[in-house]
Amino acid sequence: MLRLAPPGFLRFSQSNSFDVIYGGGESNVAVSLANYGVPVDFVTRLPKNDIGECALMEMRKRGVGTDKIVFGGDRLGIYFLETGAVSRGSKVVYDRAHSAMAEIEKGMVDWKFVFEGVEWFHWTGITPAISQGAADACLEAVKAASDLGVTISTDLNYRAKLWKYCDDAKREEIMSELTSYCDIVLGNEEDAEKHFGIKPEGLDITTQGEHVKAEAFLSVCEQMMKRFPRAKKVITTLRGSLSASHNTWAGVLYDGKTMYKSPEYQITHIVDRVGGGDSFMGGLIYGLLNYPEHDQNALDFAVAASCLKHTIKGDENLATVFEVEKLMGGDASGRVAR
Amino acid sequence: MLRLAPPGFLRFSQSNSFDVIYGGGESNVAVSLANYGVPVDFVTRLPKNDIGECALMEMRKRGVGTDKIVFGGDRLGIYFLETGAVSRGSKVVYDRAHSAMAEIEKGMVDWKFVFEGVEWFHWTGITPAISQGAADACLEAVKAASDLGVTISTDLNYRAKLWKYCDDAKREEIMSELTSYCDIVLGNEEDAEKHFGIKPEGLDITTQGEHVKAEAFLSVCEQMMKRFPRAKKVITTLRGSLSASHNTWAGVLYDGKTMYKSPEYQITHIVDRVGGGDSFMGGLIYGLLNYPEHDQNALDFAVAASCLKHTIKGDENLATVFEVEKLMGGDASGRVAR
Amino acid sequence: MLRLAPPGFLRFSQSNSFDVIYGGGESNVAVSLANYGVPVDFVTRLPKNDIGECALMEMRKRGVGTDKIVFGGDRLGIYFLETGAVSRGSKVVYDRAHSAMAEIEKGMVDWKFVFEGVEWFHWTGITPAISQGAADACLEAVKAASDLGVTISTDLNYRAKLWKYCDDAKREEIMSELTSYCDIVLGNEEDAEKHFGIKPEGLDITTQGEHVKAEAFLSVCEQMMKRFPRAKKVITTLRGSLSASHNTWAGVLYDGKTMYKSPEYQITHIVDRVGGGDSFMGGLIYGLLNYPEHDQNALDFAVAASCLKHTIKGDENLATVFEVEKLMGGDASGRVAR
Amino acid sequence: MLRLAPPGFLRFSQSNSFDVIYGGGESNVAVSLANYGVPVDFVTRLPKNDIGECALMEMRKRGVGTDKIVFGGDRLGIYFLETGAVSRGSKVVYDRAHSAMAEIEKGMVDWKFVFEGVEWFHWTGITPAISQGAADACLEAVKAASDLGVTISTDLNYRAKLWKYCDDAKREEIMSELTSYCDIVLGNEEDAEKHFGIKPEGLDITTQGEHVKAEAFLSVCEQMMKRFPRAKKVITTLRGSLSASHNTWAGVLYDGKTMYKSPEYQITHIVDRVGGGDSFMGGLIYGLLNYPEHDQNALDFAVAASCLKHTIKGDENLATVFEVEKLMGGDASGRVAR
Amino acid sequence: MLRLAPPGFLRFSQSNSFDVIYGGGESNVAVSLANYGVPVDFVTRLPKNDIGECALMEMRKRGVGTDKIVFGGDRLGIYFLETGAVSRGSKVVYDRAHSAMAEIEKGMVDWKFVFEGVEWFHWTGITPAISQGAADACLEAVKAASDLGVTISTDLNYRAKLWKYCDDAKREEIMSELTSYCDIVLGNEEDAEKHFGIKPEGLDITTQGEHVKAEAFLSVCEQMMKRFPRAKKVITTLRGSLSASHNTWAGVLYDGKTMYKSPEYQITHIVDRVGGGDSFMGGLIYGLLNYPEHDQNALDFAVAASCLKHTIKGDENLATVFEVEKLMGGDASGRVAR
Amino acid sequence: MLRLAPPGFLRFSQSNSFDVIYGGGESNVAVSLANYGVPVDFVTRLPKNDIGECALMEMRKRGVGTDKIVFGGDRLGIYFLETGAVSRGSKVVYDRAHSAMAEIEKGMVDWKFVFEGVEWFHWTGITPAISQGAADACLEAVKAASDLGVTISTDLNYRAKLWKYCDDAKREEIMSELTSYCDIVLGNEEDAEKHFGIKPEGLDITTQGEHVKAEAFLSVCEQMMKRFPRAKKVITTLRGSLSASHNTWAGVLYDGKTMYKSPEYQITHIVDRVGGGDSFMGGLIYGLLNYPEHDQNALDFAVAASCLKHTIKGDENLATVFEVEKLMGGDASGRVAR
């Protein structure tokens, strides 16, 4: 997608230029991984025009493989972003209908070719949300990956404004089928509830501005595992929105037995929180791959990685493994690295 | 529409910001007129979101009435513009499908209300090009205006890439009906040919980089008048594209009897040629209103106005009557006005 | 006025460009109201040059009526603004002497025409401060409004550096007469004291960096009401300046019987505090008009509105009713609005 | 002065930032000389505020002595500049009334101190134009310089819009007295006529867009010499304004016997023509000092220097002696200097 | 290399930001080829720091293979560029000593690995100029390529300021040996003379600002062929520097029998001429590969390609094959591509 | 040095322009002093090119004397700076090897001329770190200053990455000899330990993110005084790095008898922390000169001054004496100065 954003904290009507950033849910995860040195390809559908070409170049620049991208359709999805501060939240105006990706259809991607030699496949709940065709293609991908024994992860990513082509029951059916193939399931506070009606017990987690307690999510994780037996790990990010400028950030990981909790970070001067969840997922995949049998480390890497993302402009997390491990190791002092 | 353009002469892939300008065929004409002190309203359909609101504000800022605009639909049309130089032409990537205006339908605008107390109505060939609904609404408007005795003008504005919803025969039928209601018909070198198959005799006007001769257009004008008997004046802009940086610019006006020719201007250092035709139309309407019975003056005003437009960034012509009349009076010296 | 400000936190001598913003006390209030959908006109005097025209366009863009503006004089008032951070306060260099507005004189505005069909008139203490002529015109306006039964409000807005044309006694006399016509009187911590010698009892309110207590202002309000019997409501903003980057913000409203107190907001990452008081006044007028008989709501709207202003660049408050009511309803979480 | 200009070719109403440049007639000459390595001081009156300080810093940065500047007054003069192209000339909106310099008065500068050890004094016709006080101070300076045997030069610089405090007769009287002390007198095509009613014979030099012929100026020079017998050299710049983007540029110098003519340059892609005359004067003073007895060289240096100025943004000529001499030597190829 | 350039036409001392562009002789050629769809790798030595990484990303973004790059050394070479206009030429300040590439040594690159499956190797005269080590590595490369039957091309690219580590005789020896392995030899007007003392007969080609005649180069080409018998084609670019803003541009190609001449282009509004020669080389290689046995076409493609380069900011030529062929086909009209 | 920094919080790979700032350890101290009105000269070695000239101009602009600067060498030292936020620290990439200053040698500066009439000489630990030649020149300077009875101060400024030309023992020897001539010795938490192995007793001061206790430094100061008997005052800055955006800042000064402690400031929204130590030194020298016999005041001035520096972009502290004394007096409210 193409992000168009007035510079600084300007409102849309105050600016005569927009900062241009190319990104998007799955591609942000891909960039995180490429950045950590993990070989990764991004599969999407891009229009054959200069704007689609620019999105492709950003992937290539960041070291993400682009050979599996298919071309067609008329436009790249756009979103307009106004960056908020303190009590004024950031504002997103979506203009992604009719994008090349929204008009993808079953059969357009050769998933056998895509998954050749691949170990891991990640998708997010945004893809099936944008159109029936995208949901179909996503299911096709998940099944193909499953057949080939590829590890599958998802970020449930509920977006109320996107699910327009079907009703709630159909949405739950689609998401349930897709999620049933997943080994690793990530959600934030709302996703499990909105997608599957699964809520924590005894706590209203949507209370704004409060420190969200990790304990409450144990019941959510247990319910998720019961519903999706193939899931080996269920993970939740925990964001406390004190203001648009100051959030707390943490996560929990449940492997069916143990509930791992990360430290909670104070992100006191947020630079850009868009892409926070994607950076968590990127960090988590890296962590699970690089700290096998050490889920605490994997979780801590994911949380530290996405903590750093909040200090970086744009959708992508450009932190390095060195930087993430430094923060994960406890050094949040932000001293100058000379 | 929203124009997104890399600054200066940068190509799309070189820029991480886009200059933001709101404009569009008919709105550019409206701004020209407001700028000359002519009371004017712009009728369109805008989405109810921040981007639509920004487009509205630009109209309001320029003094164009916005009370007749209707709201609805999902998005504002977008075009991406890369500014060329010398042998590299400017490049436009359209992303205007599914805009609020493209999805307009018959009955959405209350044309009686719109034309109350109105003397002049202007439309362009871009509107019927974008969708059947827009063509229908345009016809509805033209008929209502005609019924109320409003003067009607058009800029034929052929855009090959836009006419997608119908075949060539249907296109000619639509344009013929719409044009048949018009009192004033403006076209550039290609419009009469592409829309109605009307060509100048004995001259290939598409030869690039040459000074196009006004004489050749007499036959075009005569054919146009024969085909559209209601047309009182047929006008053509004459652009000689020596390069993306240097054009010649002139115009002819035929009133059925006399062929008026403007002087030819050398625009040696083009700042922005998009909106050139619209600025001509804005100047022409002003000229016809303010120099009645002096078509030579009206034509000269239009040509001088649009000549100045080429020195102004953006789609809109922000030249004043004083500036246009100074140039029209022969002062092209560009001395500092202290 | 024209605000010229180095970008970001640069000092004047570090920048080779200035951000350009048009605004000013009363016009900021007008923009707030237009933004909330209240029909509003701005009355001022502007020079007939391009810079005056730009100021006018900004008003028009924001939906403020400009038909009552008069033209004349040589220049638009200017102020240079350097934005501070933490312990370095923002710095204003005024260059507003000899502005078109400063050189206004009695009789230049046709107040009958101005107040035709008008319900509310607002003026600020800055106008009489700039010149005898401006004070005269202001008095003329206030009397005309009073004769026509228009509700009158004022923001006392003491500015030591502006009152140059008369001594302190004369200043108090002028302000007293003007204020005596007012129904609604707004001041901040210093205004009542500096203009009328009215102080809170038993508390030094100018102590910097502390949380200012609302209680102390009861005595100020009572004294104000006694002195200006026509005043129906006296309102005070309460700013706690912890640093240039972090303020607390609240307000109290006294209607002669009850002292309403707003919640206190922590504005932890100020984007721009200039125009804070104006945005409070804009919110207050909207609140009083839209929540009649609910002064607590009116006050809360005003405080929430101006709280949001501190997150917006420029003099104007571009927050919407929806945004203000969301914050007023308790949601200060600053979550992304997707 | 402070120049505020929209970037690129934007009109005032299109820009939300202004480029900031400090400069002004005499200071531009001073910067030219400092740039050529000539020790030079600038005498002016600056306000004691941040904006005045910025102007001072620019002088200091460029190596101009600032010890003789006096402080006082309220504001720095401002001018707003919109850069034109082709047939749209640049536009200047002056806001220099009431500047610190405009409010200078006789006696404020200690001219003895100023001229201690000084060889050359330069003033321009802009100074006496802005106020009676400035004219008085200028006369005071000229007399003091004359008494001390300092060479005096002037650039007549007629500006119709500035001379407001007196009528034409008085203006001619003031300028005549001031000029009568000068050794070196520079004017452009209009100055001699507007100031002293001296016109070339048999040629209308104000014809725009034409190559102005040097020959015609001989009679102007002769008349000037007759009227101002102290003048040793009379010099005229010859600008042919083909358009705002393309000028021709040349000069003539008359020493009472010989009429020296410079080559004529084609300035085909003007970057900034403001300060062109000042850069000529700076080059001329350098030339007269460094090529004594070789007036042709001095003139050629002046013309080449100001030719280069047209390729440099801002009021100041930042060309070096090396660059000027390269162009003066005939190399106008503009090859890359690696 | 890292190019740091003040924006627009600003001089170094006028700007507080520099535009950042990564490029360099050979990499520019590589980008041209990648842009035309030719698989290409760039071999260089980059420092292991963020700046080196940025240069790498630019290559990757443009589709150039980076797997053969070696890492080491301390810094990326830098050049500062000030863009000239009209009579003021652009100015380059080199800061490339001690770059990672300058400190390359024989043996650091595994040329066998580099040339595996490679058909063509291109080097430029800049590489051996920067250090003995670079010259050694270049010779090593050329020999390895030669052994493997790889086609070898060179752009002689004489840069007086770079050759510091040896005297003129040694330089000629080094260049002669390197060139002796080449199949395709490109030079501009000066290269053959400065490197090998080979001059055209009967014409002073260094005369600036004149249209350089192709005919004169026949003798140069013949002498080159005699001296370097392995050379199959000798090509020269012909630049006429009318000014920094206006150049003429053409080329000739000699295959030992026929002297092919390209059309001459008028580049009337140069955007950026740095990288002009590299873009010619990129076009030439593409042309020779894609129009085998049609050297006229290959030459015409090269000239048209580099003509377009002059309209593009930066060192790289971002023109597409479609654009080059359009210009090559005679369409220099620069019309808007909608 | 030349600082090149992506704007805002962008990472190197996200920006296509770098902000340009000239500064450096000793020159920052000089600018502070000039800014406070203390006559000061800066001695360094600059390359004779445009970039060196720009650095010189910045000095001149700020009022620092530049007559004692010597010229030679090839390049100005560069550092690339990426500004961090919260848990992501700022990042510096040095490119200062082979700078004109690094290649200075004994005898290049005429220290007698330099110290004529001079009262105070300041050097920092960065100078001897960059090369043997620089260390030699520094020693030469210190000895000459000492001979002439000039007060000598140093900021120990340990930079691990710079000391490359010698081993640790040699480094300690060099620094010990240089420091032995000093009257005033400033260090931060690490300097005494890294340079001389002197640590506080019973406290690990490098613990990050904690409030560092002043008490612990008494033992450091005592040890320093014992080792360098000529030192009259030993001063330490105390930085608590809570995050890259929030630091605490304080200092202690020991005169051999009393340990003076400053207040501790909360710098909650850091704008730029580079140059913090230099601004402390500038403030300290000013304080010691202007509050003789009042070391508490001198220390408080230094701490307040450098506290303000953290709110100012760039290496230089542009705070005025008025601003520093206001903060030093307890007013940290950051109110708008109108």
Question: Which residues of chain F form beta strands (DSSP E)?
Answer: 2-5, 17-22, 45-46, 70-71, 78-82, 91-95, 120-124, 151-155, 184-187, 233-241, 247-254, 259-261, 265-267
Instruction: Compare all CA atoms of chain C with the CA of F8 and give the residue at the minimum distance.
Output: C8
How much is the pLDDT for A17? 97
* φ, ψ at A95 (rounded to 5°): -140, 60
Mean pLDDT in residue range A22-32: 94
User: pTM (2 decimals)?
Assistant: 0.96
Instruction: Calculate what percentage of chain B has a pLDDT beyond 70.
Output: 96
Which residues of chain C make contact with B58, given a CB cutoff of 8 A? 61
Say if the Cβ atoms of A62 and E57 lie within 8 Å: yes
Find the CB nearest D98 among C15, C54, C97: C97
Query: Is any Cβ of chain B less than 8 angstroms from the Cβ of D93?
Result: no
How much is the pLDDT for E201? 74
Does residue C1 or residue D206 have the better pLDDT?
C1
How much is the pLDDT for C262? 96
Q: Is E305 exposed, middle or buried (0-12, 13-18, 19+ CB in 10 A)?
A: buried
How much is the pLDDT for C338? 83
Say if the Cβ atoms of C61 and B63 lie within 8 Å: no
Q: Is C161 exposed, middle or buried (0-12, 13-18, 19+ CB in 10 A)?
A: exposed
Query: Per DSSP, what are the bridge partners of residue A186?
Result: A155, A235
Say if the Cβ atoms of F17 and E19 lie within 8 Å: yes
Q: Are D50 and C82 in contact (CB under 8 A)?
A: yes
Alpha carbons F187 and C41: distance in angstroms, whole number:
62
Alpha carbons A141 and A68: distance in angstroms, whole number:
13
Which residues of chain E make contact with B88, given a CB cutoff of 8 A? 308, 311-312, 319, 323, 334
Say if the Cβ atoms of C271 and A208 lie within 8 Å: no
Q: Which amino acid is at B280?
A: F
Q: Does D215 have pLDDT greater than 90?
A: no
Say if the Cβ atoms of F58 and D63 lie within 8 Å: no
Which residues of chain B make contact with C63, given a CB cutoff of 8 A? 60
What are the angstrom distances between the C-alpha of A4 and each of A46, B20, C182, F327? 18, 10, 46, 41
Distance of CA B212 to the CA centre of its chain: 20
Query: Is any Cβ of chain E less than 8 angstroms from the Cβ of A61?
Result: yes
Q: Does A200 have pLDDT greater than 90?
A: no
What are the angstrom distances between the C-alpha of B183 and each of B160, B195, C181? 25, 18, 58
Instruction: Compare all CA atoms of chain E with the CA of B162 and give the residue at the minimum distance.
Output: E338
Query: Is any Cβ of chain D less than 8 angstroms from the Cβ of E292?
Result: no
Alpha carbons E21 and E272: distance in angstroms, whole number:
12
How much is the pLDDT for C298? 98
Query: Is any Cβ of chain D less than 8 angstroms from the Cβ of E16?
Result: no
Query: Is any Cβ of chain B less than 8 angstroms from the Cβ of C183?
Result: no
Closest CA of chain E from D180, distance in Å: 37
Query: Is any Cβ of chain C less than 8 angstroms from the Cβ of A78?
Result: no
How much is the pLDDT for A118? 98
Query: Is any Cβ of chain F less than 8 angstroms from the Cβ of D60?
Result: yes
List pLDDT tens digits, range D92-112: 999 999 999 999 999 999 999
Q: Are C31 and C62 in contact (CB under 8 A)?
A: yes
Spell out the per-residue pLDDT of chain E, length 338, in tens.
Answer: 999 999 999 999 999 999 999 998 899 999 999 999 999 999 999 999 999 999 999 999 999 999 999 999 999 999 999 999 999 999 999 999 999 999 999 999 999 999 999 999 999 999 999 999 999 999 999 999 999 999 999 999 999 889 999 999 999 999 999 999 999 999 987 899 999 999 887 655 554 434 456 677 898 999 999 999 999 999 999 999 999 999 999 999 999 999 999 999 999 999 999 999 999 999 999 999 999 999 999 999 999 999 999 999 999 999 999 999 999 999 999 999 98
Alpha carbons A134 and A128: distance in angstroms, whole number:
5
Query: Is any Cβ of chain A less than 8 angstroms from the Cβ of F9?
Result: yes
Instruction: Calculate what percentage of chain D has a pLDDT beyond 70.
Output: 96
Closest CA of chain E from C40, distance in Å: 42
Q: Does F232 have pLDDT greater than 60?
A: yes
| Mean pLDDT score across all residues of chain D | 94
What sign does the CA torsion over D213, D218, D224, D230 have? positive
How much is the pLDDT for A6? 98
Alpha carbons D274 and A111: distance in angstroms, whole number:
64
Which residues of chain D make contact with C318, given a CB cutoff of 8 A? none
How much is the pLDDT for F212? 54
DSSP state string for E281-296: HHHHHHHHHHSTT-HH
List pLDDT tens digits, range B167-178: 999 999 999 999
D61, D248, D316, D335: best to mutate for the E interface, most E CBs within 10 A: D335
- A202 band by pLDDT with thresholds 50, 70 and 90: low
Say if the Cβ atoms of B58 and C61 lie within 8 Å: yes
In total, the C-beta contacts within 8 angstroms joining chain C to chain E are 5
List pLDDT tens digits, range D259-285: 999 999 999 999 999 999 999 999 999
Q: Are D209 and D258 in contact (CB under 8 A)?
A: no
Alpha carbons E16 and B253: distance in angstroms, whole number:
51
Closest CA of chain E from F184, distance in Å: 35
List pLDDT tens digits, range D62-73: 999 999 999 999
Alpha carbons B169 and F88: distance in angstroms, whole number:
63
Closest CA of chain C from B322, distance in Å: 13
DSSP state string for D179-230: HHT-SEEEE-TTHHHHHH----TT--TT-TTSPPPGGGHHHHHHHHHHH-TT
Alpha carbons F234 and F213: distance in angstroms, whole number:
16
Which residues of chain F make contact with C274, given a CB cutoff of 8 A? 336
How much is the pLDDT for A209? 39
- CA proximity to C181, closest of C116, C222, C126, C122: C122
- CA proximity to B47, closest of B1, B105, B3, B100: B100
Closest CA of chain F from D63, distance in Å: 7
Instruction: Calculate what percentage of chain F has a pLDDT beyond 90.
Output: 91
Closest CA of chain C from D225, distance in Å: 39
Which secondary structure element, helix H or strand E, spans residue E325, and what is its range?
helix E321-328
How much is the pLDDT for C210? 42
Find the CB nearest B95 among A19, A75, A80: A75
Query: Is any Cβ of chain D less than 8 angstroms from the Cβ of C203?
Result: no
Strands F120-124 and F151-155: parallel
Instruction: Compare all CA atoms of chain D with the CA of F54 and give the residue at the minimum distance.
Output: D61
Say if the Cβ atoms of A84 and C311 lie within 8 Å: yes
List pLDDT tens digits, range B29-86: 999 999 999 999 999 999 999 999 999 999 999 999 999 999 999 999 999 999 999 9
Alpha carbons C65 and C61: distance in angstroms, whole number:
10
What are F77's two structure tokens?
A: 């030292």
- CA proximity to B58, closest of B38, B81, B35, B80: B35
Q: Which residues of chain C have pLDDT under 70?
A: 202-214
The ipTM, to two decimals, is 0.94
- A210 band by pLDDT with thresholds 50, 70 and 90: very low
Residue with structure tokens 């409203």?
C253
Query: Is any Cβ of chain B less than 8 angstroms from the Cβ of A78?
Result: yes
User: Over the range E228-267, which residues count as b (16 or more CB within 10 Å of their CB) and which as e?
Assistant: beebbbbbbbbbbbbbbbbbbbbbbbbeeeebbbbebbbb
Instruction: Calculate what percentage of chain F has a pLDDT beyond 70.
Output: 96
What are C152's two structure tokens?
A: 């009158």
Q: Does B210 have pLDDT greater than 60?
A: no
Which residues of chain D make contact with E91, given a CB cutoff of 8 A? 336-337
Mean pLDDT in residue range A114-142: 97
Which residues of chain B make contact with F16, given a CB cutoff of 8 A? 14-16
List pLDDT tens digits, range D164-205: 999 999 999 999 999 999 999 999 878 999 999 998 876 555
Alpha carbons F170 and F168: distance in angstroms, whole number:
5
Q: Give the list of residues 6+ apart from residue E20 with CB closer than 8 angstroms, or none.
A: E2, E3, E4, F15, F16, F17, F18
Q: What angle do CA C243, C246, C249 make, to 5 degrees?
A: 110
Query: Is any Cβ of chain B less than 8 angstroms from the Cβ of A312?
Result: no
Q: Does F179 have pLDDT greater than 50?
A: yes
User: Mind listing the domains of chain D with CATH numbers?
Assistant: 24-41+110-328 (3.40.1190.20)
Find the CB nearest B313 among D14, D92, D269: D14
Closest CA of chain C from F142, distance in Å: 33
Instruction: Compare all CA atoms of chain D with the CA of C95 and give the residue at the minimum distance.
Output: D75
Query: Is any Cβ of chain B less than 8 angstroms from the Cβ of C57?
Result: yes
N-term to C-term CA, chain B: 35
Q: Which chains touch E (3 or more CB pairs under 8 A)?
A: A, B, C, D, F
Question: Which residues of chain C form beta strands (DSSP E)?
Answer: 2-5, 17-22, 45-46, 70-71, 78-82, 91-95, 120-124, 151-155, 184-187, 233-241, 247-254, 259-261, 265-267
How much is the pLDDT for E208? 41
Instruction: Compare all CA atoms of chain A with the CA of D17 and give the residue at the minimum distance.
Output: A16
Q: Give the list of residues 6+ apart from residue D42 with CB closer than 8 angstroms, or none.
A: D26, D27, D30, D59, D64, D65, D66, D68, D69
Say if the Cβ atoms of B63 and C60 lie within 8 Å: yes
Query: Per DSSP, what are the bridge partners of residue A30?
Result: none
What sign does the CA torsion over F31, F36, F37, F38 have? negative
Does residue B218 or residue C39 have the better pLDDT?
C39
Say if the Cβ atoms of C310 and A13 lie within 8 Å: no
